[in-house]
Chain A
Amino acid sequence: MREALDQWTFVVAAYIIGVAGTAAMIGWSWIGMKAAERRRDRSRGK
């Protein structure tokens, strides 16, 4: 028996994983950079 696969389910799943993974990486790197630069500026001020 042949399985009926809805191709769009696979397309949407791949897009969600790809976009969410990329967005999380951008957010993590940007927030990490800003936090590190704030720490450096605080150490300069002390």
Chain B
Amino acid sequence: MHGFANPARFLRIARWLTPLCLLAGVAVTAAALLWGLLKAPPDRLMGDTVRILFIHVPAAWLGMAGWTTLAGASLVELVWRHPLAGIAARAAAVPGAVFTAICLVTGSIWGRPTWGTWWVWDGRLTSMLVLLFLYFGYIALVDATRRDGGGSSRVAAIFGLVGAINVPIINRSVVWWNSLHQPPSITMGKSAIDPAFLWPLLAATIGFSLIFGGVVLARMRAILADIQAEARLRRKAMNDGVTNQAATNQAETSERAGADA
């Protein structure tokens, strides 16, 4: 595990992997969305609104996957003190929040013509909204600890771990409580979705996941670069301080020696 903890090794891999993930993600997502928009047939019950699911479902999956990544990285940071794990957790927060927000907004747009309402306070929608607030809380906490002199990120890591309790609640909410939201359509090895919708949905999920990976890598590189720049400037300021102090001491010593003579 610690073999991957070397920032230099990470940067060597991330330098080519970041644009590759982003370019492949954008290409696959564009192809999948065009497929879903132009080629997939309208659904028997939902009509054309089924096309919204090619954005809504991957966004929901990545909203939950984002917090799972954040919690996993927080655990690794707390237990193994892996230096890149805390950075990975911080980097996953913004894309996770963005995809959760896209999931909520597109779900609401889908709900209006399908359910006849923009919003219901049921288990699935409410727990997803709680996830968005958890992301906001985490981002604010990380920002506050960083501004207070780069203090310990342990508090944020503990928050990330505690917030993970919401992920299984979101997943099981449609099973535990009565809801307008349909039960899971894809379970282990089984799918209730017609292949005409399943394939573009899987392609969109792969494309958006690649984008998510690319964005996390880009944000990790940005955080690492900031840390390295700050460390260099601090070292330089200390060296300058030491040099100035030494010059002052030397001047004082010479002055004293002159007075004694």
| A interface list, Cβ under 8 A from B | 5, 7-8, 10-11, 13-15, 17-19, 21-22, 25-26, 29-30, 32-33, 35-37, 39-40, 42-44, 46
- The reply to whether the CB of B252 lies closer than 8 angstroms to some CB of chain A is no
Count A/B pairs, Cβ under 8 Å.
102
Q: Nearest Cβ in chain B — how far from A1, in angstroms?
A: 13
Q: Nearest Cβ in chain B — how far from A22, in angstroms?
A: 6
Q: Are B208 and A29 in contact (CB under 8 A)?
A: no
Interface of chain B residues 105 through 130 with chain A (CB within 8 A): 105-106, 109-110, 112-113
Q: Are A17 and B105 in contact (CB under 8 A)?
A: yes
Q: Nearest Cβ in chain B — how far from A18, in angstroms?
A: 4
Which secondary structure characterizes the binding site on chain A? Answer: helix
Q: Are B215 and A7 in contact (CB under 8 A)?
A: no
Point out the residues of chain A lying under 8 angstroms from B196, CB to CB: none
Complex: how many Å from CA A7 to CA B232? 56
What 7 A-B pairs come out closest when comparing CB atoms?
A18-B55, A36-B225, A36-B222, A40-B225, A40-B229, A33-B222, A7-B48
| B interface list, Cβ under 8 A from A | 18, 22, 26, 29, 33, 37, 47-49, 51-52, 55-56, 59, 94-95, 98, 101-102, 105-106, 109-110, 112-113, 208, 211, 214-215, 218-219, 221-223, 225-226, 228-229, 232-233, 236
Given known contacts A18-B55, A21-B102, is B113 in contact with A37 (CB within 8 Å)? no
Q: Nearest Cβ in chain A — how far from B24, in angstroms?
A: 13
Complex: how many Å from CA A36 to CA B112? 42
Point out the residues of chain B lying under 8 angstroms from A15, CB to CB: 33, 37, 51-52, 55
